[in-house]
Structure 1
Amino acid sequence: MRIYFYFLLFCLAAELKALPPFFRILDQTVDCNHMVKMDLLETNCSDVNEVPHGEAPAGPLWGSEQIKAQMDNHWLVPVLTVVWEIQADGSHKELKGSKLVIVDENSNQSLCVQLSYSLNSSLNPKHRQWSFSLDAVVEPWHTYSVTVFNLPQPQTDTLKMKRIEKQITVPGCGDTRMQWVQLCLENGSRWDPRISAVFADRKSSVLVTFHTDQYSERYHVLIQNDGLNCSKTVSKQNATSLNVTFENGLCQLSECDVLVMIRPFFRLCNNNLSMFGHQGHKNISKHSNVCLTINAFNNLLGPLLTSPAADEKQTEVFQVQGRKRVLIIYSLDHPLYKNVVLKFSSFLSAKCGTEVVLDLLDSTGLGVLGGIQWLDWHKKQIENSSDKILILCSRGVQAKWRAMCGDKQVYLREDVSSPIGDMLTPSLSLLVPHFIHSQSFEKYIVAYFDGISSEEDIPSPFNIMVRYKLMKQFEEVFFRILNTEKHEPGRVKLINGLSEDGYHQCPSGWALQDAIEAFSAYQRDHPRWFDDELLENSDVEEDETYCIDPKTFKNHLIYFALDSTHVVGHVEAK
C-alpha cells in the first residue's frame, strides 16, 4: 500500500512587523553640480503648464531599467532604477526639466516626480548626452508603468509624441535578486524546513519533524485522511526544530491516502509574492510498500517508510471497466514534439480506451467556440465529472509560464504556423487558479516525456504535485485517470501492456515509441533546438482570432495563484 504525503506550506498572516513603506522614491541626492532639483509631487501630475508643440523641448530617450536589491535604512528593499536621456538637438534651451510618473498597476497607486534642470549645453562635460536616473522602492510581483516627458509639457494633443512609456514587472521572491529583501525574508523565502515524517510506535502514530524559521512563531500542522482532518497548532518557543505527533486512532493510515500540510504564521504575508525555489526528486525503493512522497520547492527528497510485509503482496491483473476522459494540455514546441503528443493521444485512445480531448483533434469545436471558450467549456465538463486534466510539461510550457510571470514574451514557430495558435497560455490562465486549491488536486495529472523533457520544465505551481515520467510511470498515470489505486492492502494491481518495457508491443505504442526516439535523436543532434524555434516579435504576424496576450491574464493569475507563499524543504529518510 502506498501512502502519499503532500507537504503544502502556506503563509498565514500574523502580527505585522513595521517595514518601510513600499512604492516610494528611494532617499537619494539628485544633483549634478547643483543643476538639478527634484520635487516629489503630492498631486496626480495634472497641474502642468502646457505650451504649443513648437515651443516644447524634444521628448526624452529611454536609457535603461534595472531591478535590484538595495540597502535602505538597514533593510534590503526591491528597487527599480529608471534611466532616461536628453536629446542633443539644441532644444535644451527650452528644457526646464522632466517629469516622471510611475503607476503600480496592481494597486493603482502612483508616484509623480518633477526634476528641474538648468543645462547650459546639449552635451554633458564628457561630451555625451545628459543622462538622469531615479530609484523607486517597489514590490515583488507587481507591474509598473513608467512615463517620462520633458518640461514644459506640450499641449495634450501632441503629448504622446514627446513622451516615453515602459511597462516593467518586478520578479517574485523566487528570483535570486529578491530572496534576500526583507519582505521576502519575512515571507519565508530563505526558510529550509528540512521536513521528515515517519511512522512511530509500530504505526500507532505519525511523527512530523521540521525546522522553524526566525520569522514565524507558530505553525499549523494538519493531516487530512479519507475526509477526516487532524490538526495541531504549535509554538516555536525559541526552538530551531519541532516534533509533532499524530495518533493513528483518528484514521487508518495503512488504508487511505494522507495529506499533510504545514502552515507557518509569518510575520508579514504579502498575497502578491511569487512561489520560489527549485525541486529535486529521489526515487522510491521497489522494496517499499509504504512510501512518503514529498513535493515541495527547494530541495525535495522522498524518505521511505518500509514494512516487513512488503514481499507478501499479491499481484493481480486489473480489468479496466468503463471509459474515462482526459483533457491534454501541452505546448507546440516543435513539429516532432507535436507528433509525440498526437501519437500519445492515439495510444491512450486505442490501447487504453480513453476518450482524449485535444485541440489538434477538434478543429470543428474550436472553430465554433473559439479557443478560450473551447477550453473553458471542457474545463467545466471536467470539474463536474471524475475525468482528468493531463498537463504534459516541456521546454515551451516552462518558458510560457515564465513569460506570464514577467519574463520575455515567447513566440514559438509552431504556434505561429498553427491555425489555432498558442493554446497553452490561455490554458494555464484558466487552470492554475482552480488547480491551486487542494480539493482540486485530484483532477490534475502532471507528467513529462523522459528523454525529451525533464523536471526542470515543470512550472512552479505544479511542483506540489507528484510528477510522472512517461512512459516509465505511465501505468501509474493511467490508474490516476481511472480513479483507482494501484496499491491496496495485500495486493498490487497491474494492467497488461502499459509498462515501460511493454507499451510499445502494440501498433499505437510502437508508433509512440518511434516518435519519442525521433525527437530525442533530433535534440541530441541539435542542442539549441528550442532556441531555434523561438521567433522575435517582429517576425510574428498577430492573428486576432487565436493570438493570446499573456498580459490579459497576468493579474488574474497572480490574484489567485499567489495568495499563499509556498515554502519548501527537503526530507530526511528515517
Structure 2
Amino acid sequence: MQAAAWVLLLGSVLTQCGSEGKGQPFITCGVENASIRYLNGTKICVSRAAGNRACIRCDYTEKFESQNNFNGQKWQFHYVGFSVEENTEYFIEASNIPPANPFEDIPQKIIKLTSPDCQDNTLKYCKTCIEMGSLWDPNIFVCYTDSEVEVNFTTSSFCSEYAVVLCESDECRDYTEHTVFTTKRNDTRVAERIPVNGQNSRKFIELIPSFPKCQSDCRRYSDYQVMCREASSNGTGRANWDANLNAIYVCTVAALLSIVCTLAAILYFKRRHGTTKNWDLLYPNMKQTPTTVLVVYSQEVCFQHTVLGFAEFLHERCKSDVIIDAWQKRRIAEIGPVQWFATQREIADKIIFLSPGPGSAACDSTCKRTIECHMKDSECMFMIAFNLFCSDLKNQSSLHKYMVVSFNETNLAKSLPSPLNCCPKYFLMKDIDSFCRDLYFSQNLRRGEGTNSKCNWRFKMNFKL
C-alpha cells in the first residue's frame, strides 16, 4: 500500500476566536493520489518550535470508493479548532492512518507557517490581543512649556503602568524614561507633567504601556498632537491648554444635548403616530433592504415540497433573500462546504434550521428520485451547520441569528439535536405572526432601518408538510 500525498494550507485570515481567546486557523487537507481508498483516517498535529504539541485524529466512517468526489475533484478535508498565539511560528503535520509500509512513501507531510500579530483584522478582536491593547487608542496630546512637558493620554482598563520616553532629538541618543503609575483603569484621561530644563531640551518620542500579557514587549505609540506651546513661563501655554480643553467639553455637552433632543422628538412622534405605519412621513423615499435568510435542513425533510415551498414563502411573501445549498452546488464544489457555510453565516441575517414534518406518501412517491440524489449533500451540510452552531454556542457569538422552524409541534423534540433547544422555535402556521415579526425586527435592528413594509403572511401556503 502506498501512502497518500497530503497538501496542507493555513488560511491567511483566521476564521474566529476560540474559547481561550486565541485565534483559530482554517486548515485544509487534500489527497493527491488514489491511495485514499486504503486509508482509515487522518491525524493532524500543530506544534511550536518550543514544544506544546496538539493533535486531532479524524477517522473515516466509510471507505472511499474513488480518489475523486462526485464533482471529479480531489477529496478535501477542513478542520477548525486549533488555537494559535499571535506572531508565532507553527509546524502543521498530517499523517495517514494506517501509515505506509517501511521504505515506501513518507506517510506524512509537514509545513511551517507563522500566525499574524494582534493587528490582524480577526485576531485583534480575540481576548488575548484585547488584553495586550489591540483595541486601545491612547489619543496622546503633548503640551511643551519652558519648564515642563505635559503628556495627556487615555488609559487602558487592562494596564496600570506606562512609560513616557523623552529625547533631546529625533535620533534619541540620550533618552529619559518617565514611569507613570495610575489606578484609573476605566478608560479615563491622565495628564502627566514632566519637568525639563528649557523648551527644546526634551521632546516626546513614544508612550510604552506595560500590559500584563506582554510586559516590556508591548506595542509602542509615537503618534501625538501638540495642543499648546508657550515661549515663556508666564502661564500663557497653560491658559491655552485649559482653553482647548474647555472648548472640547463645550462641544461634547452640545453634542449630547442634541442627541437627547433628537431621541425625545422620536419618542414623541412614536407616541403620537404609532411605531411603524407612519414612518413614510419622515422617510418617503426609503427603500427597504430585504432580509437574508440561510435555510438548513436534514435529509428527512422533503426537498421538493417543504424546502422549496418554504423558500418561496420567504421570498414572495416576506420579501427575503433565501440561501439554499442546492442552488449553489458549483460554488460549494469550488471552495468546500465548510468555507461556503462560514461565508454564508456572515452574510445571513437569520439562519433557520428546518425541522422535518410527518411522513407524506405523496412526497415519497413524487420526490423519491430528488430525495435520493440530494440526501447525502443535505445531511453533510446539516452537520456542518450544526457543528458551527455548537461552536457559536460555546463562544456565545452570533446566537441571535439562529431560529428553528417546524411544521409539526409534537415531533420537534425528536427530530432535531438537543442543543438547538436554546434557539427560538416557531410552529407554522400557529406562530406565523411572531415568526414574520421577529424576522423583520432582526433585520431592522442590525441595519438600523425602519419597518416601512410588513410581511404579508396571511395567505394559503401551497406546499405539503
| TM-score by shorter chain over 0.5 | no
Q: With structure 1 as the length reference, what TM-score do the two structures score?
A: 0.34
Decide which structure has greater helix share.
2
Mark the structure with the bigger radius of gyration.
2
Q: With structure 2 as the length reference, what TM-score do the two structures score?
A: 0.42
**Structure showing greater relative contact order (alpha-carbon pairs closer than 8 Å, 6 or more residues apart):** 1
